[in-house]
Structure 1
Amino acid sequence: MKRTVRRLAALAAATGLLASGCGLETSFALPFDVAPGSIQRVPELDGLGVAVGSKDFTENQVLGYIAEVALAAAGAEVRDMTNIQGSNSSRQALLTGDIDLSWDYTGTGWISYLGNTEPIPDEKAQFEAVRDADLAANGLRWLDYSAVNNTYAFAVTKDFARANNLTTTSDMAALVRDSPDKAVFCLETEFISRNDGFPGVAAAYGFDAKTAQVKTFGTGTIYTATADGLCNFGEVFTTDGRILALDLVVLEDDKKFFPQYNASVVLRSDFDTAHPQVREIMAPIVAKLDNDTIRGLNAEVDVDGRDPAVVARDWMVREGFVSLPPA
Structure 2
Amino acid sequence: MKSLTTTLASLALAGTFSTAHAADLVVGGKNFTEQQILATMTSQYLEGLGHDVDTRAGMGSAVLRQAQENGQIDLYWEYTGTSLINYNDISERLDPEETYARVKELDAEKGLVWLAPSEANNTYALAMRVDDAEERGILSLSDLAESINDGEELSFALNAEFYARDDGWRPLQEAYDFQVGRPDISRMDTGLVYQALRDGQVEVGLVFATDGRIPAFDFHVLEDDQGFFPAYALTPVVRQDTLDELPELEEQMNALSALLDDETMAALNARVDVDRETIERIAEGFLEENGLL
Q: C-alpha displacement at 1:309, in angstroms?
A: 2.4
Q: Name 1:238's counterpart in structure 2.
A: 209
Counterparts of 1:149-188 in structure 2, within 5 Å, are 149-182=121-154, 184-188=155-159
Change (3 A) 1:305 1:314: same
The 4+ residue runs of structure 1 with deviation greater than 4 A are 17-21
Give the aligned CA root-mean-square deviation in angstroms: 2.0
Which amino acid letter does the alignment assign opposite residue 306 of structure 1?
E
2:16 to 20, 24, 33: 24
Aligned length: 284
Q: C-alpha displacement at 1:160, in angstroms?
A: 0.9
Which amino acid letter does the alignment assign opposite residue 67 of structure 2?
A
Given that residues 241 and 300 in structure 1 are in contact (C-alpha distance below 8 angstroms), is that contact kept between their aligned partners in structure 2? yes
2:84 to 110, 116, 126: 110
Higher helix share: 2
Q: Name 2:3's counterpart in structure 1.
A: none
Which amino acid letter does the alignment assign opposite residue 300 of structure 1?
R
Which amino acid letter does the alignment assign opposite residue 98 of structure 1?
Q
Unaligned 5+ runs, structure 1: 1-16, 29-46, 323-327
Q: Distance in 1 between matches of 2:25 and 2:236?
A: 14
Which amino acid letter does the alignment assign opposite residue 64 of structure 2?
S
1:126 to 84, 99, 102: 99
Given that residues 81 and 230 in structure 2 are in contact (C-alpha distance below 8 angstroms), is that contact kept between their aligned partners in structure 1? yes
Deviations 1:210-263 (A, max 9, x none): 466101221011111101111110000000000111011111111111110001
Given that residues 70 and 282 in structure 1 are in contact (C-alpha distance below 8 angstroms), is that contact kept between their aligned partners in structure 2? no
Q: Name 2:50's counterpart in structure 1.
A: 75
Q: C-alpha displacement at 1:68, in angstroms?
A: 0.8
Q: TM-score, normalised by structure 2?
A: 0.92
Is residue 222 of structure 2 the alignment partner of residue 251 of structure 1?
yes
Q: Name 2:117's counterpart in structure 1.
A: 145
Given that residues 23 and 98 in structure 1 are in contact (C-alpha distance below 8 angstroms), is that contact kept between their aligned partners in structure 2? no
Q: Distance in 2 between matches of 1:258 and 1:225?
A: 23
Is residue 40 of structure 2 the alignment partner of residue 65 of structure 1?
yes
Q: Distance in 2 between matches of 1:320 and 1:296?
A: 19
Q: C-alpha displacement at 1:191, in angstroms?
A: 1.2
Is residue 264 of structure 2 the alignment partner of residue 293 of structure 1?
yes
Q: C-alpha displacement at 1:21, in angstroms?
A: 5.2
Q: Distance in 1 between matches of 2:273 and 2:48?
A: 26
Q: Distance in 2 between matches of 1:249 and 1:206?
A: 22
Change (3 A) 1:49 1:198: same
Which amino acid letter does the alignment assign opposite residue 194 of structure 1?
R
Change (3 A) 1:244 1:147: same
Q: TM-score, normalised by structure 1?
A: 0.83
